[in-house]
Structure 1
Amino acid sequence: TSAANALLLINLNPLWCAVVGRLFLGDLLPRRTYIALALALCCVIIIFVPEVVERKRHGGDGNTAEEEDPYADTAVRGNIIALVCGFLLAAYITIVRLGAKSEKEINLVGAASLGASLSAIISSIVERGDVFPSSFWTGTTAYFWLAVAGQGFGIGAVFVAIGLAPKFITGAEVGLCILLEAVLGPFFVWLAYRDVPSKWTLIGG
């Protein structure tokens, strides 16, 4: 799927935060939150449905298993993965809030650091240890190290901040602060890769 689709679907997490916080932490949800949730679900439909319809329109006679299964399309799978990521991020924020409200002192920054280390280990296992560029031993790849720095420092700082913020504000408010990513992310991707969002993504976003 496109970067814009992924960012928009991941950044539905404030609404998932509101729902999960209501169910597990007893957060009170005003009527406007329910209205926002309904609008967000409409946005998801606007992003998902046109891609499925477009695929059906250009997809042949539907005799193959891939044509019969709308989830076999990579764009649809990417959208589903992004949607699940948004929900898992909301679950993470809610867990952090639960830890922050606990009577016992919990080192949330340490938990975020350990979690990042575990993510690195799991990623290495998935890639079977092949985490360096092919030119690693013959020359330094600038983009590789730029990505390493971005993942190590940028993402690490983000999750440390996410670990601290729920001590002071609700999960839904934390998620709303993260929404800036949905605005700036597609713009930066367009600058770097000229990845233009579809009209349905712009409408749904």
Structure 2
Amino acid sequence: MALRFQEQYGGTDETIGFWRFIVSAALTLVFGIVTAGGVSKLFSTLASSACGLAVASALGICTQSGFYYSLMLLDPAKAFLFISLSPVWAAIQGKLLLDDDLPQRTVVTMIVALISVLVAMVPDLLRLFEHGWEAADGSERVLLLIPFMTGFAMATLTSWARYCGTRWPETDLTTTGFFASLGSCALFYASLHRRDGPEIDLTGGLQLGFWGWLILSKAGTTAFDVSMFHAARHLKGAEVELIMLGEAAFSPLWVFLAFGETPTAWTLAALGLLLLALAGHEVAGMHAQQA
């Protein structure tokens, strides 16, 4: 929704992509300085967390860039549904790397999340079976790899945060977003200059509303990222990713409320199935605690 409003206030794919990374880096840096207790203490924290931050930042670049291109190049609802496979990857990684044992309710919820992705793809699958693979949009099938791999990168980042929290408790990954955003911005800026055509003006035509929606959206994602790192210290990776799936469930709702764009019936069914699975997971968890 915030991306659409930024476009209405003069934003283009290029300006939104560039400035979202800059603002994200700035907000994360400010948050890191405040929580560390000052600039000097932040540098001390960075020195003691260098290894963990380096790996997390590399994964963060994959996540941030993939998330941006998924929303820009694909239908947001479909992109979110493919990204929602992240709990499956987190569960596999947790079992193989961290020896995590998942409760049955979490396993069932992950299976339902996978089914919801298949439900969203029913129209495409029917078209393929009816007209053959040649009738499908091959470019879109390739682009779907972006949210697919973004979900895998998100799960890996969560697993790494959990690994650092259990093996190296002194590691602070709060400023991961700062380095990841700078890296993503550098790659994005380099890609702009490799394109043919006139030079792109990254400030022209941007209205005040653009900056307001940009700061608001990046403040939300900064809080999102920092919360994820802290949650990974106390919850299993798959559980963290399942909670984060709420974004996929509610994003089409915000787009509908703001712009009146109604998703397809299959997309609504898939999102409803995902939301019911998440709610059922939490209800089952409360009953398990009371038993």
What's the TM-score, normalizing by structure 2? Answer: 0.57
Question: In the alignment, is the contact (CA less than 8 A) between 1:15 and 1:36 conserved in 2?
Answer: no
2:202 pairs with 132, 139, 142, which one?
A: 132
State the match for 1:117 in structure 2: 182
**Hey, what's the Cα distance between the residues in 2 that align with 1:71 and 1:101?**
45
Cα deviation for residue 26 of structure 1 reads 0.7
State the match for 2:76 in structure 1: 3
Percent of matched pairs sharing the same residue? 27
Deviations 1:167-187 (A, max 9, x none): 122212212221221232111
Question: In the alignment, is the contact (CA less than 8 A) between 1:3 and 1:195 conserved in 2?
Answer: no
1:12 pairs with 81, 85, 88, which one?
A: 85
What's the TM-score, normalizing by structure 1? Answer: 0.78
Report the number of matched residues. Answer: 193
Residues 30, 71 of structure 1: alpha-carbon distance in 2 compared, 3 angstrom cutoff: farther
Deviations 1:82-120 (A, max 9, x none): 222222111111111111112362121123321222122
State the match for 2:267 in structure 1: 201
Question: In the alignment, is the contact (CA less than 8 A) between 2:88 and 2:238 conserved in 1?
Answer: yes
Residues 193, 123 of structure 1: alpha-carbon distance in 2 compared, 3 angstrom cutoff: farther
2:112 pairs with 36, 39, 55, which one?
A: 39
Question: In the alignment, is the contact (CA less than 8 A) between 1:48 and 1:79 conserved in 2?
Answer: no
Deviations 1:103-159 (A, max 9, x none): 362121123321222122222222338472542xxxx42343235314542222221
**Hey, what's the Cα distance between the residues in 1 that align with 2:235 and 2:151?**
19
Give the root-mean-square deviation of aligned CA atoms.
Answer: 2.7
Runs of at least 4 residues off by over 4 Å: none
Gaps of 5+ in 1: none
1:83 pairs with 148, 159, 163, which one?
A: 148
DSSP 3-state at the match of 1:108: coil
2:239 corresponds to 1:173: yes
- The code of the aligned residue for 1:132 comes to L
Residues 173, 31 of structure 1: alpha-carbon distance in 2 compared, 3 angstrom cutoff: closer
1:102 pairs with 147, 161, 167, which one?
A: 167
